Amino acid sequence: MLKKTSPISVILVSSGSRGNKLLFRYPFQRVSENTSSATCKCSLNGCRQNFHLFCDHCTLFLSLFLSLKRFSDIILATILATKSDMCGKKFELKIDNVRFVGHPTLLQPPHTIQVSKTDPSPKRELPTMILFSVVFALRANADASVINCMHNLSRRIAIALQHEERRCQYLTREAKLMLAVQDEVTTMTETDGTPQSPFRQILPKCKLARDLKEAYDSLCTTGVVRLHINNWLEVSFCLPHKIHRVGGKHIPPEALERSLKAIRPYHALLLLDNEKALLAQLPLDCSPALVRLIKTCSAVKNLQQLAQDADLALLQVFQIAAHLVYWGKAIIIYPLCENNVYMLSPHANICIYSPLAEQFGLQFPGHDLPSMLAKFSLPVSLSEFRNPLDAPVHEAQLIQMVVWMLQRRLLFQLHTYVCLLVPPVEEEPGLREEEPPLVTRVTGRSLSTPSALSFGSPTSSDDMTLTSPSMDNSSAELQTGGDSPLNKRMTETLLASLTEHERQAILRVPAAQNPEDLRLFARLLHYFRGHHHLEEIMYNENMRRSQLKTLFDKFRSVLVITNHEDPIISLFQSPPD
């Protein structure tokens, strides 16, 4: 998608004994050449129109390209090949509506070229390169995070080139080739009179030029760059802004990172490609843990289970999962099970003419996407969606459809959140006691350390059975004996964090007369601030859904319940505001 995230051009400059040189730039300057074969640089829906027949996106691109075209090679060389004291740092220059970003890098001249000063014999002075820079030209108002990403890519390519230069003078050789072709074409132009682009001639002769072209093309289309500098060093990079696009907006990398940090062991990893395709994309020397994980993961398995099945530490699974999500190969969901409730995402494209509708029709012949999506207009659980009277084959296909829709972010899952809100003091409606902050109410264990949790793995039918109660303040202690003084005191302590008014209101509930119920309620109190959904409570406390629902029902006069998406993973379904 050609928007603010695509670069306008990639430029390679150098500075050395021959002065400042522009070695290569892509796309080429001379647009007028061969307009019939010049295809549109817009990648929207495979747009392949000619340059002079613009679609709207191309008009924008062309205007930016033309503003860059006004910069001659020489002036670009002057402004982009900086002084050596700007090397090793981010280079940023804005000229009117074009922004240049790069990472100028110093080269150490190889020792073999040192010429002795005392030697009187005339020696041919070998041209040496002192520094170089791979510069990306962007729209001036590109996002700061996009600029940083481009700088990152420039730096990575520079590191690879610097390494190869030290090892075998790769960059000097390529530069020599490029300059030689440029000189050749200039001479030819002078004799022939026909303008030609030297850069077009450089491409077939220089691997580095082809690499830069490939980087540019990838950035404009998929956002995933994989180069092999000198057929040896791999440089890989992804532009999250291109990969993570939902509803026409990109998800900023910072928001992505925040969400990834908040993933829990009960979440699941949903691959966006099929397993085979994904494995084929991995480099040969990738980590075996990654391969194992991809082969073992499934939409019904949570991360904890995945860790066990793939024989990896949970922390490692988290890291690999985050990596896959960052590269746009997977998203985080709650594992598929019967009780999951799904609804149509407000950002879903339900147009009958959308490419998604077409793909759906091909993948599931006989069904059409809008009809399927209409079924999710009201929240529907997976068990409701599947008709138990249908043949099992049909059932499996329905699950596949749900997975397909989740992968394309057409659906999101609704969770139940509970909030403690007691009826107000009737006599003085304006007066409300200050409620102590939540942090004083959380007793003991922190809720966010994955390694502390080691419950049995939940089965796909969402029935969490109690296995090992390994928590210090878990229900195990509180369940022994009925009304022991110890239990009573614990209940009291837990309720002590509430205001007097709240305590009274809770105790007035008929169910509070039952010490078991009251104990359970008190124990779960810290979840009732609307930030922990039902499934999280189930997982942390090793309880069944039915148990919790019964409890909520008993105490409904002091609780308010609502359903909405999980804000932590809803990032993957909808763009942030």
Partner 1 sequence: MGSYRRIDCIFFSEFHPTLGPKITYQVPEEYISRELFDTVQVYIITKPELQNKLITVTAMEKKLIGCPVCIEHKKYSRNALLFNLGLVCDARTKTCALEPIVKKLSGYLTTLELESGFISNEESKQKLLPILSTLLEELNVTGACTLPIDDSNTIHLKLIEQRKDPLVVQEYDVPVFTKNKDHFIKSQWDLTTQQILPFVDGYRHIQKISAEADVELNLVRIAVQNLLYYEVVTLVSIFQYSNVYCTTPKVQNLIDKKCLQEECIHYVSKLGQRTNLRDVFQLYCGLTPGTTVRDLCSRYSHQLQRVDERKLIQFGLMKGLIRRLQKYPVKVVRDERSRPPRLYTGCHSYDEICCKTGMSYKELDERLENDPNIVVCWK
Residues that bind partner 1 (CB under 8 A): 70-72, 75, 78-79, 82-83, 85-86, 90-96, 141, 343-346, 348-354, 368, 370-371, 373-374, 377-379, 417, 419, 421-424, 429-430, 432, 529-531, 560-567, 570, 577
- Least separation in angstroms between residue 567's CB and partner 1 is 4
Nearest Cα to 310, choosing from 336, 287, 340, 285? 287
* Phi, psi angles (nearest 5°) of residue 377: -65, -40
Which residues sit opposite 344 in a β-bridge? 411
The CA distance from 522 to 498, in Å, is: 10
Cβ proximity to partner 1, 96 vs 285, nearer residue: 96
Which residues sit opposite 288 in a β-bridge? none
Nearest Cα to 342, choosing from 297, 300, 384, 281? 384
Q: Is the preceding peptide bond at 27 cis, omega within 30 degrees of 0?
A: yes
- Least separation in angstroms between residue 97's CB and partner 1 is 9
Cβ proximity to partner 1, 441 vs 529, nearer residue: 529
- Least separation in angstroms between residue 77's CB and partner 1 is 11
Cβ proximity to partner 1, 225 vs 414, nearer residue: 414
Cβ proximity to partner 1, 83 vs 489, nearer residue: 83
Cβ proximity to partner 1, 122 vs 429, nearer residue: 429
Instruction: Give helix then strand counts, H and E, for the chain.
Output: 22, 17
* Phi, psi angles (nearest 5°) of residue 194: -95, 130
Nearest Cα to 25, choosing from 188, 182, 150? 182
The CA distance from 473 to 515, in Å, is: 17
- Least separation in angstroms between residue 563's CB and partner 1 is 7
- Least separation in angstroms between residue 558's CB and partner 1 is 9
Cβ proximity to partner 1, 314 vs 350, nearer residue: 350
**In sequence order, what DSSP letters do the residues of 305-372 get, joined into one string?**
HHHHHHT--HHHHHHHHHHHHHTTSEEEEPPP-TT-EEEE-TT----TTSHHHHHHHHHSTT--HHHH
Cβ proximity to partner 1, 61 vs 412, nearer residue: 412
* Phi, psi angles (nearest 5°) of residue 512: -65, -15
- Least separation in angstroms between residue 296's CB and partner 1 is 31
- Least separation in angstroms between residue 553's CB and partner 1 is 15
Answer yes or no: are the C-beta atoms of 519 and 487 closer than 8 Å: yes
Cβ proximity to partner 1, 223 vs 252, nearer residue: 252
- Least separation in angstroms between residue 243's CB and partner 1 is 23
Cβ proximity to partner 1, 306 vs 548, nearer residue: 548
- Least separation in angstroms between residue 89's CB and partner 1 is 8
The CA distance from 202 to 214, in Å, is: 14
Cβ proximity to partner 1, 352 vs 391, nearer residue: 352
- Least separation in angstroms between residue 218's CB and partner 1 is 27
205: tokens are: 């002769």
Q: How many other C-beta atoms can be found within 10 angstroms of the C-beta atom of residue 116?
A: 8
- Least separation in angstroms between residue 470's CB and partner 1 is 30
- Least separation in angstroms between residue 133's CB and partner 1 is 14
Nearest Cα to 87, choosing from 131, 31, 135? 131
Cβ proximity to partner 1, 81 vs 464, nearer residue: 81
Cβ proximity to partner 1, 147 vs 203, nearer residue: 147
- Least separation in angstroms between residue 566's CB and partner 1 is 8
Number of residues written out for the chain: 577
Cβ proximity to partner 1, 91 vs 572, nearer residue: 91
Nearby residues of 314 by Cβ (< 8 Å), 6 or more positions away: 265, 303, 304, 307, 450, 451
With b meaning 16 or more CB within 10 Å and e meaning fewer, what string describes 71-102? bebeebbbebbbeeebbeeebeeeeeebbbbb
291: tokens are: 């391969």
The CA distance from 21 to 23, in Å, is: 6
441: tokens are: 């109410």
- Least separation in angstroms between residue 409's CB and partner 1 is 12
Cβ proximity to partner 1, 57 vs 301, nearer residue: 57
Nearby residues of 397 by Cβ (< 8 Å), 6 or more positions away: 364
Answer yes or no: are the C-beta atoms of 547 and 516 closer than 8 Å: no
Answer yes or no: are the C-beta atoms of 408 and 573 closer than 8 Å: no
CA torsion, points 392, 393, 397, 403, in degrees to nearest 10? 60
| Angle (deg, nearest 10), helices 170-192 and 198-205 | 140
Three-state secondary-structure class, residue 450: helix
- Least separation in angstroms between residue 442's CB and partner 1 is 15
Cβ proximity to partner 1, 462 vs 566, nearer residue: 566
